[in-house]
Chain A
Amino acid sequence: MKLIAAMSGGVDSAVAAARVAEMGHEVVGVHLALSSNPQKYRSGARGCCTIEDSHDARRAADVIGIPFYIWDMASEFHEGVVENFIAEYSNGRTPNPCLRCNEKIKFAAVLDRARALGFDGVVTGHYAQMKETSAGRLMYRAVDPAKDQSYVLAVLNSEQLAGAHFPLGDIVKTDTRKEAKARGLYVANKPDSHDICFVPSGDNAGWLRDRLGSESGPIVDESGEVLGEHQGAYTYTVGQRRGLGLTVPAAGGIPRYVLKIEPKTNTVVVGAHEALAVEKIVGDRPIWCGPAPISGRDHRGFAQVRAHGQPLACTYSHNNLEITVHLDEPLFGLAAGQGLVIYDDDRVVGSATVSETA
């Protein structure tokens, strides 16, 4: 096959590219430039958009012995991911930009371009497995649950998954770093990135404040009583406990959590932990990673709402526009905008974006 290997400059994507090249595929390494001003990229080894990273990716491609190019995806990334991130927050929702990037950039803009140029698909260093089954090419969790990244890939439809290759899905005993070292890839010891790549400081609230400005509004309890003031509702997330700065003490000294963000009135609602309990989740924009489950009927499965969250046993159904999930046990703290991913054991069934909880 002819494959484009998306190389971030990190260890995972380097080993992924090396593995497919070794299998005899014709591989071309590509580093995605995601900021329109790469000269101004922060320095440091973490993240996915520094000059060092593009250099590291190039060096890895040289060691593997594959061609290497930089593709400018800055405007696609800005429109598809960064603007959406800001818009979601300003609507009181909590988006996951990595999901968005996979859906709109890596397996859309990049995959489309790769296909047009005559390539069969895109290789990334994500930890997930693709398996050929009688029902087609389906996605499963990685063998190593600690590394599994199928959650952030559940936004890919069958057509996108047909061109997706994840050579690291079966890594379990052999650590990727050891393999990188054995292959002579000097990124072997490079730290992993954890932050959102375009929020260099890791300070989401500060980053958002710079872009959305601050606008003070009330912090209220469930009865509507004003307990304090905030400088921008978007800097809070549902389930948050620290940093509320409330001066009115809670009745009985019970800790208070952010329950809800109401962007229209710029209000943050707080309350007791029990009030965060969620048993029913509704998600819109369903995407199926394989054949769609039969609509209008209950199915058993697992729901996951965070990249490294627990799979929660549930019953779900869908009507093609929405997925409705009933959890066996309640979950505490879920914000609109988060990704809702449905699994059938280890198989990724599909995903939706949380729109309502109860």
Chain B
Amino acid sequence: MAASSSAGCPTPAGANNDIPTYEYVDINTRPFHVGAFERLWKETLKPTYYSFRDAPQETEDEEFAQEMGVSAETIDELKVICSPDTLRCYPENEPPDKNVVPMDPGLRTLRLRKRQQDYKETLLRDFTCRQHLYATELESLAMGKRPADPEDLVPEGEFILSINVVYPVIFERFKHVRPHQTLQVLGSQKLTDLRDAICCVSDLQVSGEFSRSPDMAPEFISKDHYKSATFYLEGTFYNDMRFPECRDLSQTIMEWAKSHDFPTFQTAKMEETTFRDLKIKIGYPYLYCHQGDCEHVVIITDIRMAHRDDCLDHKLFPLLTYKHRVMTRKCAVCHLYISRWITTNDSLAPMDPCMFCELCFRMLHYDAQGNKLGDFLAFPFVDAGAFN
């Protein structure tokens, strides 16, 4: 999995290895230590640069003047010369319609947009992508959110990591697109915080045949039964060992590696590792494995300092900022509700296998006393879109 870093961009001699640089340009970075990187940024910047509060205008101007070694009058002059008003291209009280691309635009970007919009207008239906609208909703929902209790405020200078968790290709329809969810975690959070925030249908899967006792099914949710999980990052397996029944999922791989003359992997405990402790590459695909064999590609896409416009409520992290909307499978009877059951050998069903929502399933297959009618096998079904 790990490509040798010598194949990518050359490392400048004497460079600090904890300053992230490209290994492959626009693709991924070289490995670096997250905590050390954070320290480097914080040492470089004045705390006011990343403070969540605004300094009063006067103090700021004074500081400017001092730093630049000029008089207050010069600052006032600069304020006028450099005012954002100088960027305005229309008379103050006559703003143009910003929804319209101007006629005969000189900018190439606008010519492209105009072509696209002219084309769109020829279409009968407006294909505003629901996927995108939903994504915006999620993103803007948390923006600038402050906690009710000041204790929960994310500290100034905290770092936020963005992590893409790709859905496994266990469903046929995931083969071509790579749907994912994006989560933001704080540098101070543990890997287990992320693990608990990743929602995957296989955690909710119920295995077994329940046609005789459909009410029992919820007690057999996989998440409660198979608690083991592991992250694989830069040669180390981080295993979730919080519960006595957890197993070291990496063991088989470790043994295999040993018997095949592979470089040995390290192991560590997920619950004892914060993101700050990690050495990682940004943009590089890593692994999250749970339920024994449900494997997700995990990519850390960004690390940056928290900004005052971010969600600053510690309790809301890990924060889900993007989620792929999945088409859901509807019930074969009502075509309205999401399927909860799947039946086979079912004399009552129009096809085999057949999907039913909870309501239709019960109405069709059981009498008022809850006795099973006819011959069939029933398996609980969790739709991949159940989380939408």
User: Are these two chains actual partners, yes or no?
Assistant: no
A residues sitting closer than 8 Å to B (CB atoms) are: none
